[in-house]
Amino acid sequence: MDQPKKRAKPGRNPGPASRTSRPRQAEVAGLAGVSQATVSLVLSARGDGRAAAISEETRQRVLDAARSLGYVPDPAARRLAAASNNLLGVFSFTATFPTDVQHSYYPFLVGVEQEAAARGYDLVLFTGSSTGGAGAAGPDALSRVRLADGCLFLGRHVPRAELKRLVADGFPVVHLGRREELEGLAWVGADYVSASREVVTHLAELGHRRIVLVREDDDAPPSTDRQRGFLDGLAAAGIAGGPGAVLRCAGPARELTARRVRALVADGVTAFVAEETDTGAAWRALNTAVREAGLGCPGDVSLGLLGSPPADLAARPVPMGFDIPRHRLGAAAVRLLAALVAGEEAREPLVACEFRAGETAGPPVPPP
């Protein structure tokens, strides 16, 4: 399903005399009621033909907004913007760049590289390791990505203030994964809601009426989407989705013990599903707890995974769940970023995940 683009609403003009910071392109876009890409084209006065597609009315509205705000282009930013190097940046918020073929990010990078090559772009790779991990070394930690014409970011946890600053400056940025909480940030994502709902539907059709979701204790958008789909699936099947249906674990390996699993099964739980993350912590903890509880799968309890298993746990039995089209997501992210670099209005639809029947789900065991 396509994600509707949030159109900037004209805002109040604070007036250049009442402010202490230099106006940004994002403010000009908000006052004029247009996108930052349109503002960039109008104010840069490019001669490559793209600005010619902008109507005179829109152009004048942008110029009026810039003048009323006292907007003055940053000379350094203008020089950077004018110098297209056919380079796209890729920044990973991990301690080391994920180049291991078994890393969950690796298929994303394959899709990124192939689509970039097909479009005539070279890639420059950045990593959070040079800033202490997760880009947390200060307010200018991400400034070096401006060496590229635009940058693609991937990671579960990101420095919001830094990304917001890049977006506000009109620098082309795309996040691989939903980030709606950062207004104005372009992103591509998988349809985790529908995929998670389908997993629950499958378990309900097998006869399960007590299903528990095991997830990490944070509010990262991928986790939120999976939980939403899980609860939607319960509701559609007429299964109660009260507080006990979702088990949030700050430290899954410590908190999801064999004793806890046995207690839940004794209370009537017949199936568990775990979210996939880049660490695989929830799925690892669930597998360990079920095994140490002496329970067979799917004989005693059914298991599902909202995503793909970690490479070291990908051997049989294959978990029931869904596969994330990482290669396609990486390619979609490059298409969107290339469009933003070209100053075009663009969006990418959510990418559907593929259901995986697996070998870990079966009918619930009848009570004795």
Sign of CA dihedral 95, 98, 100, 105: positive
Confidence label for 137 from pLDDT (cuts 50, 70 and 90): very low
Kindly report the pTM of this predicted structure.
0.72
Q: What is the pLDDT of residues 181-223, one digit of tens each?
A: 778 889 999 999 999 999 999 999 999 999 999 999 888 889 9
Contact of 149 with 172, CB cutoff 8 Å: yes
CA distance 347 to 335: 9
Compute and round to an integer the Cα radius of gyration of the chain: 24
Confidence label for 100 from pLDDT (cuts 50, 70 and 90): low
Q: What is the pLDDT of residues 154-185, one digit of tens each?
A: 877 777 788 888 888 889 999 988 888 778 88
Q: Is the pLDDT of residue 303 over 90?
A: yes
The least confident of 34-43, 291-300, 328-337 is: 34-43
CA distance 316 to 297: 12
> What percentage of the chain exceeds 90 in pLDDT?
45
CA distance 293 to 287: 10
Q: What is the reported pLDDT for 351?
A: 93
CA distance 167 to 165: 5
Contact of 302 with 208, CB cutoff 8 Å: yes
- Of 182, 128, 120, the residue nearest 149 (C-alpha): 120
Q: What is the reported pLDDT for 136?
A: 44
Q: What is the pLDDT of residues 27-68, one digit of tens each?
A: 888 899 988 778 877 876 544 445 556 788 888 898 898 888
Q: What is the reported pLDDT for 132?
A: 45
Q: Phi and psi (nearest 5°) for 244?
A: -75, -10
- Of 193, 81, 93, 181, the residue nearest 133 (C-alpha): 93
Q: What is the reported pLDDT for 87?
A: 92
Q: What is the reported pLDDT for 1?
A: 41
Higher pLDDT, 279 or 110: 110
Contact of 290 with 261, CB cutoff 8 Å: yes
Average pLDDT of the residues of the chain = 82
CA distance 358 to 368: 27
- Of 280, 253, 283, the residue nearest 156 (C-alpha): 280
Q: Is the pLDDT of residue 7 over 50?
A: no
